[in-house]
Amino acid sequence: MRSATPTDCTCCTKSDYSGNAIKDLREWKHIYFEKEKERKETNRQRENNAREASKRVRGAIFTHDQKDSSTELAFKYAVYKINKDKIILPKTTLEYDIQYVPKDDSFHASKKACQQVKHGVQAVFGPSDPILGQHIHSICDALDIPHLEARLDLETEAKEFSINLYPAQSLLNTAYQDIMEFFNWTKVVIIYEDDHGLMKLRELVKSPKIRGIEVSLRQADPNSYRQVLSEMKSKEFRNIIVDTKPEHMHHFLRMILQLQMNDYKYHYLFTTFIHLVCDSIRSLAFPQDIETFDLEDFKYNFVNITAFRLVDADDVGVRSILRDMERYQPSGNTILNKSRIIQAEPALIYDSVQVFAVGLRTLEQSHALRPANISCELEHPWDGGLSLTNYINSVEMKGISGPIEFKEGRRIQFKLDLLKLKQHSLVKVGEWRPGAGVNVTDTAAFFEPNIGNVTLIVITILEQPYVMLKSEGNFSGNMRYEGFCIDLLKKIAHMVGFTYRIELVPDGKYGVYDYETGEWNGIVRQLMDKRADLAVGSMTINYARERVIDFTKPFMNLGISILFKVPTRHQARLFSFMNPLAIEIWLYVLAAYVLVSVTMFVVARFSPYEWNNPHPCHPGTEIVENQFSLSNSFWFTIGTLMQQGSDLNPKATSTRIVGGIWWFFTLIIISSYTANLAAFLTVERMITPIENAEDLASQTDIAYGTLDSGSTMTFFRDSMVETYKKMWRFMENKKPSVFVPTYEEGIQRVLHGDYAFLMESTMLDYIVQRDCNLTQIGGLLDTKGYGIATPMGSPWRDKISLAILELQEKGEIQILYDKWWKSPEDTCMRTEKGKENKANSLGVDNIGGVFVVLLCGLAFAVLIAIFEFCYNSKRNAPAERVSASTLETNAEIHFNKSLARSRCTTLLVDYLQSDKHDCVRLILKLLLLLYFYQLLKPLTLRDVHVTRMRKRCMTFSELCFIATSWISSYQHELIDH
């Protein structure tokens, strides 16, 4: 640097100095502004770069018919909401690039997608068409760009860069299965409109859960709705799953009205979303809720229309978003429909934008995302695409379509609201969640008939006394029937407020589950298929039936009992008086009689106190006698046994002990015999071979069975009690079969004998009251009740239950029971008085044997007397050769001497000597002889006791001489007289 010298300074003028300074100042100013301009430009460039970096471009592809639709508006509103609130992406702005393509033009759609990729889009949304969607996804998959969809995808393979918010069809099929299982559907028809609908529901048809359900598939369009529905009506298909296009929905519902298939017995389950909106078979539209349809014509016809809803409009957060959506009208159109309800497609599009924003925020929090500088020509993948896709896949949030969670790009978490058409609108009656199944909170909503204007079909079985045909008169309709259940049904219908039509069950059975076929029959099957509204009769409430149908409160309690033929009275035998003691006892008594008699004889012979002087008037004699000879011993024993006694009295202690023990023995035997004889002879004993179920199970001579279809048969089949299991094995293996189709046949088999019928006690009581040849054996084997059966979930159950309880409290049911069970003109006569008279009267059959014994005894005595006479005559023949005069003279002399020598002259002898009347003396002599031989007991004559003749002061020979003299003296007078 060169320094200034004085010379130089002196050379510089003042003007020169000023000009240079101004010049420098201008240069400095220019430089400053240039630098400031450069700095501002740099800042501006930096701001622009930052702004460009914070912008995230999103591409959306819609078909031409979706332009300005609720779906496009929902997409724009979602972007607008995120940019406005700055809650999810506070430092990022979302922009969108919307392209419209024709339907079925995949080339044009691919071209539009490539344009969006060239402009730097970082995600592609749509389209809704399945064919277009597949082409767009192939482009996104090749370039690693996230592809967000909200359409039904039937492909099961996982897609790496696809995120689909539409619930997987496999989960929706599970929801259908759970609904069918909840309602116990056994017969269902699936109506679909095209091949795509069939492919969608094929997993449902092949599912193992519905293998026990009869499934029928029918393809139908508006031109064939009437034909298909008429066929379903004729085949009595009551449960119908409908998969049809939205624009055809009104036509389908109108056809239901025209065919009168709109009562509450029909149940229509519309697929989760009504999704077919394109005329082409290959095009698939976005889902649209059935909730958006006008169902005014069905509100008061109480038809069961059920569907699922994805958007819970009752949620507070959802309602807030919907109110904000309603105000968003950039093009004059609104997202919501006239009913202020959002359809499923706009809801899913809105949630897809929210999911993308949440995934993008999570990604930006970890590292910066570079813009997508790619193109379809280069086919170079975007570096940040895979990371963004993974972050979106990990999003868990709650959108307006419910909880959202993904697994490999498929939505696995959501909630479906179960809707039911009621009288006012479609209302939520439950919900379904994956893994949790269906949860119905309002079961009665599925049966809400108009009580004031409905005729119920009541099915029953002819069975006395519950339901019977009137025997007199020509009636039709309900007037043909009478019985306990008919009267009960009349009262209930009047109280609840409905009319009814009675029909008989075709197979005449109550209903039993067949384990081989897995099917029910009878009344249960009719109710399961909803061919009837009520079932009355002796319908037993049990566990198996309660699983598939409903029952009211029981109107009658009962149990299983045994019907058997009244045993015939045992034919009285001639010697029935011997029945009180067994034959063994009679033999033992006979043996005891012989033993005691012999013992008495032996003991009396050994005892010295039983030997006595036969002549008290000669005490010095050495002759002694023993009164207990062998014959007397037997006589003493038999006299005591017959309670008659004898003149033989034991004197020794030993013989008295024998006699006392024998008396005690006879006391017990005779008392027992007398007591039992009264029961045998005065009570008509019935020989009953069985007394209870155990007796039946322990024998095989008497067969037993039940109805071949009913709760009684089910009771034994499913019982775990060993006795009942044994009985069931017997009934199941018995040939010929012991099961009967009707009660009447079972009763006839009982009357024919050797058969016991197991039936319910109420019916048994009715039969026994009317047939005196039948009776009930034992008590009740179980306890159960009769109820009125209804289809599962029927509201009539609760209403009828209340009516039954009221009738029971008023005693109306008991009055009906007495009317039909205990009618005097129908019951057989079983009066107590008749029973008493029959029990107290004895006939010849009962005690005729006693007379036989008497006659036999008399005959035997006569024979013995003849034998004794012959024997005695033969022995005394030499003595009888003496002349009669000599005998008379000797007797008279001996008699007079005996009287003179006797010291025992009695009043009787004096009287006999003084009495000169020949006849009197002869009679007295005969009496004396009879008494002497112990053929007469002591008697009194003129206050003089004849027994005085037996005193020991008169010897035996003297008495003989007296009698002989009297007979000899007056035998001629007796003959002459």
Question: Which residue ranges are tagged as binding site?
Answer: 540, 545, 711-712, 760
626: nearest Cα among 597, 601, 646, 653 = 601
- Bridge partners (DSSP) of residue 99 are 61
SS3 (DSSP) at 446: helix
Sign (positive/negative) of CA torsion 469, 475, 476, 479?
negative
C-alpha–C-alpha distance, residues 367 and 384, integer Å: 10
What 3-state class would DSSP assign to 140? helix
Element (H, E) at 239: strand 239-243
Reading the block at residue 937, the tokens are 């007991």
Q: How far apart are CA 500 and CA 491, in angstroms?
A: 12
Return the structure tokens found at 828.
């057989």
Q: What are phi and psi of 161, to 5 degrees?
A: -110, 20
- Residue 884 has, within 13 A of its CA and on its CB side, a CA count of 6
Q: Tell me the backbone φ, ψ of residue 97, rounded to 5 degrees.
A: -125, 105
Beta bridge partners of 437: 433
Beta strands 468-469; 556-558: pairing state: unpaired
- Angle (CA) 449-519-706 rounded to 5° is 100
Phi/psi at 264 (5° precision): -75, -5
Cβ atoms of residues 805 and 555 within 8 Å: no
> At 771, is the secondary structure helix, strand, or coil?
coil
- Which tokens go with 640? 């005591």
Phi, psi torsion values for 61, nearest 5 degrees: -120, 125
* Residue 793: φ, ψ to 5°: 80, 10
CB-count exposure of residue 57 (10 Å: 0-12, 13-18, 19+): middle
Q: For residue 139, what are its two tokens? A: 């482009």
Residues 805 and 881: their CA atoms lie apart, in Å, by 109
Six-digit token string for 286? 């976005």
595 within 8 A of 796, measured Cβ to Cβ: no
The H or E element containing residue 149 is strand 147-149
Which residue ranges make up the annotated binding site for L-glutamate?
A: 540, 545, 711-712, 760
Q: How far apart are CA 49 and CA 436, in angstroms?
A: 51
Length of the chain: 977
Is residue 250 within 8 Å of residue 280, measured between CB atoms? Answer: no
Structure token digits, residue 73: 């508006």
What is the distance between the alpha carbons of residues 671 and 677, in angstroms, rounded to a whole number?
A: 10
DSSP string over 706-757: -BSSSHHHHHHHH---HHHHHHHHHHHH-SS---BSSHHHHHHHHHHSSEEE
690 vs 170: CA distance, rounded Å: 61
User: Beta strands 703-705 and 789-791: pairing type?
Assistant: unpaired
| DSSP assignments along 102-133, one per residue | -TT-HHHHHHHHHHHHHTT-S-EE--SSHHHH
Question: What is the Cα–Cα distance from 575 to 851, expressed in whole angstroms?
Answer: 10
CA distance 525 to 20: 118
Q: How far is CA 484 from CA 463, 813, 911, in A?
A: 10, 9, 93
